[in-house]
Amino acid sequence: MSLANELTETAPAKINLALHVRGRMPDAYHRLETIFAFAQEGDRLSVEPDAALSLRIEGPFAAGLDAGPGNLVLRAAEALRQAAGVSAGAALRLAKNLPVAAGIGGGSADAAAALRLLARLWGTEVPLEPIARSLGADVPACLAGHTVRGEGRGDVLTPVDPGRLSGTPLLLVNPGAAMPTGPVFAAWDGMDRGALAQGEPLAAALAGRNDLEEPAIRLCPAIGELLAWLRARPGVLLARMSGSGATCFALFERDEDLARAEAAARRDWPWCLATILA
């Protein structure tokens, strides 16, 4: 397969517009209510036919990542191959454009992109959602790739009309800190602060919160500084931490407001991405 015909999939950045932690579950997961939305941009996964499964990782955040069988992309590929009864392999190439351990989907989005991409390459119609559920709590939402409400571990999904969210200017900013999910959830105080509202997703998000912000800020004070910085930008509609951090996001009313905030973020913070919500 030539590069001109190479199959590719975007693994878009995942945004938790709101994230309510309602309690701990017996399996050590947490009972969540969240609104998932997705950026137009993210990591990029490409594939060519090959006899064996392999993964090459490149891009600005490739350093230190393991491209071996433990990588979630290869775990997704192997799970699909077994479910579909496929003997062929695939040479996968991941352009890692998003920070790692950053609260914006990362490996989950890459795994979901691998499922979509390899289903195309291998011509299989095996249901992908059960495989996604076996790979991680965020993978089903990332497989959907559009605005959904998540409950349970975050993997019980209800589609919602994005309404005015589609095309909304979006700025992602990371303070240069990796935040593994486990310690942030472990630092949550266990208090149920109430349900996430139903209805139009932006209105629900504006009325909501991210219950992991406070424990994440205790572990990484730069997140609090970043949130204050974002909330001070002209034209901001909503600024919040995504997932367990450390990436924070801001939604803007106008493209001009986003452009000004992006210019300032490039000066003041280690990483940012200006895009729109899908």
Report CA 59 to chain centroid distance, whole Å.
18
Specify binding-site residues for ATP: 99-109
Amino acid at 100: V
Tell me the β-bridge partners of 240.
Answer: 249
Q: Is 96 a catalytic residue?
A: no
Amino acid at 260: R
Q: What is the CA radius of gyration of the chain?
A: 18
- The two tokens of residue 214 are 């406070």
Determine which one of 14, 110, 155, 211 is catalytic.
14
**Exposed (0-12), middle (13-18) or buried (19+): which is 158, by Cβ within 10 Å?**
exposed
Helices (H) and strands (E) in the chain, counts: 9, 10
Q: Which letter, b or e, does each residue of 265-274 get, where b requires 16 or more Cβ atoms within 10 Å of its Cβ?
A: beeebebbbb
Q: Is 138 a catalytic residue?
A: yes
- The two tokens of residue 265 are 């973020």
Specify binding-site residues: 99-109
CA distance 210 to 23: 14
Lookup result for tokens 């289903």:
119
Determine which one of 43, 138, 155, 211 is catalytic.
138
SS3 25: coil
Amino acid at 178: A
Residue 69 vs residues 3, 47, 92, 202: alpha-carbon distances, Å: 25, 16, 12, 39
Which residues form the catalytic set?
14, 138
